[in-house]
Homo-oligomer: A and B are copies of this chain.
Amino acid sequence: MTTYTPPVKDMNFVLNDVLQVSKYSNLPGFSDAPEDVITAILEEGGKLAANVLHPLNKVGDKEGCKLNPDDASVTTPTGFKEAYGQYREGGWGGLSFDPEYGGQGLPHVLAIAVQEMFSACNHAFIMYPGLALAAANALHAHGSDEQKQTYLPKIISGEWGGTMNLTEPHCGTDLGMLRTKAAPQGDGSYKISGQKIWISAGEHDMVDNVVHLVLARIEGAPEGVKGISLFVVPKYLVNDDGSLGERNKLQCGGLEEKMGIHGNATCVMNYDEATGWLVGEENKGLAAMFVMMNEARLGTAVQGLAASEISYQNAAAYANDRIQGRALTGPKAPEKQADPIIVHPDVRRMLMDQRATLEGGRAWLYWSALQADLEHKSEDDETKVKADDYLGLMTPVLKAYLTDKGFDHASTALQVLGGSGYTQEWGMEQFVRDARIAMIYEGANGIQALDLVGRKLPKNGGRAIQAFFADIDQFVSDNQGNEELKPFVEGLTSAKADLADATAWLMQNAFQNPDNAGAASTDYLHLFGLVCLAHGWAQLAKAAIERRGEGGDTVFFENKLITGKYFLARILPEKSSHLAKIKSGAEPVMALDAEAFMAS
């Protein structure tokens, strides 16, 4: 019942006109992706998304996954396996991965755009290859040569899957408490024992093997986070010739029943003296896992944006189609019994809220993904450091802001459909249920906010945010004379001023009482997100003005400016309330005794 049109035109505009990725043709992989190749890849990816993954979205939700008690295998929903075959054959899994292991080495920013379409069409499905890729990235960064040769080509080809095993029943956020044990066997291998929960794609029928990356504590290791190591624990052991050997002693002990993403198998994984091998150094597992986490967090931000896009598209289509009542300013479709509901300003408000955030968010997200390319591929140290700073700073903001909005937008889109939105038939409520998880996994959004104010902000004496502010100042100064851009420059300037104000307040008050940082963290993150959107919109508007001057599809560029002005008038004002809340400090938040929260 739902519909999806790949937003290739918008993506092309961001990639080619705003980010101008062709400027980076000196970087490996970028010269392979000129404009026409980018368009072709986006269009091909869009076809797979819209024609193959999208029709399976509801199937996955309805059927869910089934655990077969006989052999603890997991059956994915009807059609998933065949769709995964097409995904694999298209080479989508390794689009931007290292060519040495079978990847195509294309720009990461392009892979992110493709991922957006897949995620929009089938959140539950894309998690399978998404987790596999995250595991591959961690092995690529921290694995031995042998481990890389053994696992990476098979994961990148899509023959094998991969997972991240962090959470245990008693610990999720606080991994220092984890209990899974690793007993060294003297031959370089370890016996891994323990229970992990909420393991997405932990067991399923679409791949021949699953490569689990597992956090565990080597016997005798220090307590807390300093005693955690990372292990690779394949479902099937791998023979020297690369063929599959013995079944490892691990299995899926149950599937979680969840609010959404029913098409993805969320597994309890039981390790009972399973054979594993250390990845990276002993007791440095958390750092190695963070490579996965950062990639995964950017991927989660993509899911938020994708939820905004597909829910927006369906709400807009309904609003143009459904007739009900008349425009306040007189009939707009007098030939019909009523006007389409898009004539109503409050319906417009809902649609514009979604659209203005998602278009600005796309510019911001893709720009951030480009920083990942620069960080990995640039040969200039200064560029690499700056890109790394940016990415570290932006990752928690992107993850939390865009997933908060993805859920909000899915819910707003449901509201546009009224009662129909609440029925399963129309598919909108699935978007809401699926989008809800992204605010939680890969670090709950409150944890992202704490990561931002507690770690990313003060890191290297605030170098990252100072560089971001300097970039904004540069943009503002470069564009002072541009009369049409003026509202965007002014909006960005005032937003940056508020963020600078909030940052100064944090520096002054967090040292004296760390709870001031904690109490401010989520509002600070949302204020930060608004500044990033203002930054994104200023760049979108500049490119639109320039491109419009060259002729072509002037309506497209005009509409960008209209949408950007909506952002300035109707979304950016939220910054003031965030600033006021931040500056009210920890006292109102912490004043009640903990016991007073309990019902009595």
Q: Hey, which bits of chain A sit against chain B, CB under 8 A?
A: 3-5, 7, 9, 167, 171-174, 177, 198, 256-260, 313, 316-317, 319-320, 323-325, 328-329, 337-338, 340, 342-352, 355, 407, 411, 414-415, 418-419, 421-425, 429, 432-433, 436-437, 439-441, 444-446, 449-450, 454, 513-515, 517-519, 521-522, 555, 559, 562-563, 565-566, 568-570, 573-577, 580-581, 584, 586, 588-592, 594-600
The docked-state distance in angstroms from the alpha carbon of A489 to that of B171 is 45
Q: Output the nearest chain B residue to A429 by Cβ-Cβ distance.
A: B259
Given contacts A258-B422, A324-B173, contact A519 B590 (CB under 8 A): no
> Separation in Å of the A191 CB from the closest CB of chain B?
25
> Separation in Å of the A338 CB from the closest CB of chain B?
6
Q: Output the nearest chain B residue to A585 by Cβ-Cβ distance.
A: B569
A586 close to B522 (CB less than 8 A): no
B320 close to A597 (CB less than 8 A): yes
B573 close to A580 (CB less than 8 A): yes
The docked-state distance in angstroms from the alpha carbon of A9 to that of B7 is 54
The docked-state distance in angstroms from the alpha carbon of A531 to that of B573 is 19
Q: Choose from B338, B414, B513 the contact partner of A329 (Cβ within 8 Å).
A: B513
A440 close to B415 (CB less than 8 A): yes
Q: Which residues of B contact A518 (CB under 8 A)?
A: 328, 344-346
Q: Which residues of B contact A171 (CB under 8 A)?
A: 324
Q: Choose from B337, B440, B574 the contact partner of A577 (Cβ within 8 Å).
A: B574
B436 close to A418 (CB less than 8 A): no
> Separation in Å of the A564 CB from the closest CB of chain B?
10
Q: Which residues of B contact A337 (CB under 8 A)?
A: 177
A173 close to B576 (CB less than 8 A): no
Q: Which residues of B contact A574 (CB under 8 A)?
A: 577
A519 close to B5 (CB less than 8 A): no
The docked-state distance in angstroms from the alpha carbon of A424 to that of B596 is 28
Q: Choose from B351, B565, B598 the contact partner of A320 (Cβ within 8 Å).
A: B598
A424 close to B258 (CB less than 8 A): yes
A324 close to B172 (CB less than 8 A): yes
Given contacts A515-B329, A599-B5, contact A432 B422 (CB under 8 A): no
B432 close to A414 (CB less than 8 A): no
Q: Choose from B345, B454, B519, B584 the contact partner of A519 (Cβ within 8 Å).
A: B345
B352 close to A589 (CB less than 8 A): yes
Given contacts A423-B256, A518-B345, contact A555 B596 (CB under 8 A): yes
Number of copies: 2
B519 close to A173 (CB less than 8 A): no
A324 close to B415 (CB less than 8 A): no
Q: Choose from B348, B423, B581, B600 the contact partner of A590 (Cβ within 8 Å).
A: B348
The docked-state distance in angstroms from the alpha carbon of A173 to that of B420 is 12
Q: Which residues of B contact A345 (CB under 8 A)?
A: 515, 518-519, 521, 586, 589-590
The docked-state distance in angstroms from the alpha carbon of A257 to that of B430 is 12
B259 close to A598 (CB less than 8 A): no
Q: Which residues of B contact A407 (CB under 8 A)?
A: 411
Q: Which residues of B contact A555 (CB under 8 A)?
A: 596
Q: Choose from B419, B562, B566 the contact partner of A441 (Cβ within 8 Å).
A: B419
Q: Which residues of B contact A577 (CB under 8 A)?
A: 573-577
Q: Which residues of B contact A521 (CB under 8 A)?
A: 345-346
> Separation in Å of the A558 CB from the closest CB of chain B?
9
Given contacts A173-B324, A259-B422, 12 further A-B contacts (CB under 8 A): A4-B599, A174-B323, A174-B325, A342-B594, A345-B589, A348-B589, A407-B411, A421-B440, A563-B592, A570-B589, A575-B577, A576-B577
Q: Output the nearest chain B residue to A5 by Cβ-Cβ distance.
A: B599
A514 close to B432 (CB less than 8 A): no
A419 close to B580 (CB less than 8 A): no
The 3 A-B residue pairs whose C-beta atoms are closest, nearest first, are: A345-B518, A5-B599, A328-B514
Q: Choose from B328, B423, B437, B445 the contact partner of A515 (Cβ within 8 Å).
A: B328
Given contacts A422-B259, A519-B345, A599-B316, contact A562 B594 (CB under 8 A): no
A522 close to B346 (CB less than 8 A): yes
The docked-state distance in angstroms from the alpha carbon of A146 to that of B514 is 70
Q: Which residues of B contact A174 (CB under 8 A)?
A: 323-325, 338
> Separation in Å of the A309 CB from the closest CB of chain B?
9
B415 close to A597 (CB less than 8 A): no
The docked-state distance in angstroms from the alpha carbon of A352 to that of B588 is 9
> Separation in Å of the A35 CB from the closest CB of chain B?
19
Q: Choose from B172, B350, B415, B439 the contact partner of A415 (Cβ within 8 Å).
A: B439
> Separation in Å of the A599 CB from the closest CB of chain B?
4
